[in-house]
């Protein structure tokens, strides 16, 4: 497995590739959610590259950039085992050298939800993802539905800027008790970890209620809100029922595919999760 640490090295590797290249960008501290993306890329492409880069641009002041969990050695072993051919691990100075001053931003799609809770977050995401796509030049790039708004923001950017990479959306991988896998789950105390199961339970219940015919947006959203509010360790940041494509908040009847999503804090740990409501 090749390790590349600058855009120039990555380009040289890419030009030496025959066939299709799949790409899985990550911030490392890998879990089964990341590995599901990797396995899919390995199955669908001739070669797969992954990246590990904890991107300072997408963390706000007071967020967890400094303490974001890292385990490079384990990550590399897992990627190699999964059949990855190259890992892009740019040094921060190679990504953002002195004088760096360009930002890529989507507009409406990045304003609600995570964008409202984390100002500047998506500009950091789109800027780094475009840089990664430009360095790797993949045929396909794999992203998880766990970060549902991020996925839409990246799809929008790729369409708007004519990036020649197909964005492949992958299902959320969950722990056996339903908690969506996340590198940040390691921050949870045993008590918080247990309490956090309320998130997927509330979302799944709402999806069942929707499946049984409930179409009132407020009733669906309030059901999730109430279920989570009953858990004393949970501090809700938002519960949203939005248009599945534009992410505009829905009122009245749900007549189109929708996204039910939330961000909830348990102590210092902020978790996100979502389910799609398909008609």
Catalytic residues: 34
CB-wise, 33 or 112, nearer to ligand AMP? 33
Size of the site for ligand AMP (CB under 6 A): 17
Residue 26 contacts ligand AMP per CB under 6 A: yes
Q: Which residues contact 149 (CB under 8 A, 6 or more apart)?
A: 109, 110, 112, 113, 114, 115, 122, 247, 261
What does residue 153 show for φ and ψ, rounded to 5 degrees?
-60, -45
Q: Which of 4, 14, 17, 34: binder of ligand AMP (CB under 6 A)? A: 34
Burial class of 232 by CB neighbour count within 10 A (0 to 12, 13 to 18, 19+): exposed
The CB-of-100 to ligand AMP minimum distance in angstroms stands at 21
Residue 125 contacts ligand AMP per CB under 6 A: no
Token representation of residue 86: 């190259």
CA separation for the pair 7, 88 (Å, rounded) = 9
Burial class of 143 by CB neighbour count within 10 A (0 to 12, 13 to 18, 19+): buried
Instruction: Choose the binding region for ligand AMP from 10-18, 26-34, 81-89, 233-241 (rule: CB under 6 A).
Output: 26-34
Radius of gyration of the chain, Cα coordinates, nearest whole angstrom = 19
The CB-of-210 to ligand AMP minimum distance in angstroms stands at 22
Token representation of residue 219: 């009733």
Judge whether 27 and 55 are in contact, CB under 8 Å.
yes
Instruction: Kindly write out the interface string for residues 159-198 of this chain, putting x where it contacts ligand AMP by CB under 6 A and - elsewhere.
Output: -----------x-xx------xxxx---------------
Residue 144 contacts ligand AMP per CB under 6 A: yes
CB-wise, 26 or 240, nearer to ligand AMP? 26
Q: Which of 75, 114, 139, 147: binder of ligand AMP (CB under 6 A)? A: 147
Residue 261 contacts ligand AMP per CB under 6 A: no
Judge whether 34 and 26 are in contact, CB under 8 Å.
yes
Q: Which of 13, 53, 88, 143: binder of ligand AMP (CB under 6 A)? A: 143
CB-wise, 75 or 192, nearer to ligand AMP? 75
Residue 199 contacts ligand AMP per CB under 6 A: no
User: How many C-alpha atoms does 121 have within 13 Å on its Cβ side?
Assistant: 21
Q: Helix, strand, or coil here: 95?
A: helix
CB-wise, 26 or 126, nearer to ligand AMP? 26
Residue 37 contacts ligand AMP per CB under 6 A: yes
Pick from 4, 7, 43: nearest CA to 135: 7
CA separation for the pair 23, 37 (Å, rounded) = 9
CB-wise, 25 or 223, nearer to ligand AMP? 25
The CB-of-147 to ligand AMP minimum distance in angstroms stands at 4
Residue numbers of the site for ligand AMP (CB under 6 A)?
Answer: 26-27, 33-34, 36-37, 143-144, 146-147, 170, 172-173, 180-183
């Amino acid at each position: 497995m090749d390790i590349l640490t600058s855009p120039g090295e990555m380009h040289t590797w890419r030009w030496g590739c025959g066939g299709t290249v799949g790409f899985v960008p990550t911030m490392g501290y890998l879990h089964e959610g990341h590995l599901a993306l990797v396995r899919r890329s390995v199955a669908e492409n001739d070669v797969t590259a992954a990246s590990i880069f904890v991107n300072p641009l997408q963390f706000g002041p007071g967020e967890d950039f400094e303490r974001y969990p890292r385990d490079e050695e384990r990550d590399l072993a897992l990627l190699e085992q999964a059949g990855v051919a190259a890992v892009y691990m740019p040094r921060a100075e190679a990504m953002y050298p002195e004088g760096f001053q360009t930002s890529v931003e989507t507009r409406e799609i990045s304003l609600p939800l995570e964008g409202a809770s984390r100002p500047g977050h998506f500009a950091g995401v789109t800027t780094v993802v475009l840089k990664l796509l430009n360095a790797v030049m993949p045929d396909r790039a794999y992203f998880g539905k766990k970060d549902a708004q991020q996925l839409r923001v990246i799809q929008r950017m790729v369409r708007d800027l004519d990036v020649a990479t197909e964005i492949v959306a992958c299902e959320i991988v969950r722990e056996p008790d339903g908690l969506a896998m996340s590198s940040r789950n390691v921050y949870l105390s045993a008590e918080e970890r247990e309490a956090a199961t309320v998130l997927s339970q509330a979302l799944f219940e709402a999806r069942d209620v929707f499946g049984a015919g409930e179409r009132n947006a407020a009733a669906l959203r309030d059901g999730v809100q109430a279920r989570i509010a009953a858990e004393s360790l949970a501090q809700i940041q938002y519960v949203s029922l939005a248009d599945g494509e534009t992410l505009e908040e829905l009122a009245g009847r749900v007549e189109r595919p929708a996204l039910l999503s939330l961000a909830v804090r348990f102590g210092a740990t902020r978790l996100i999760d979502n389910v799609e409501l398909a008609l």
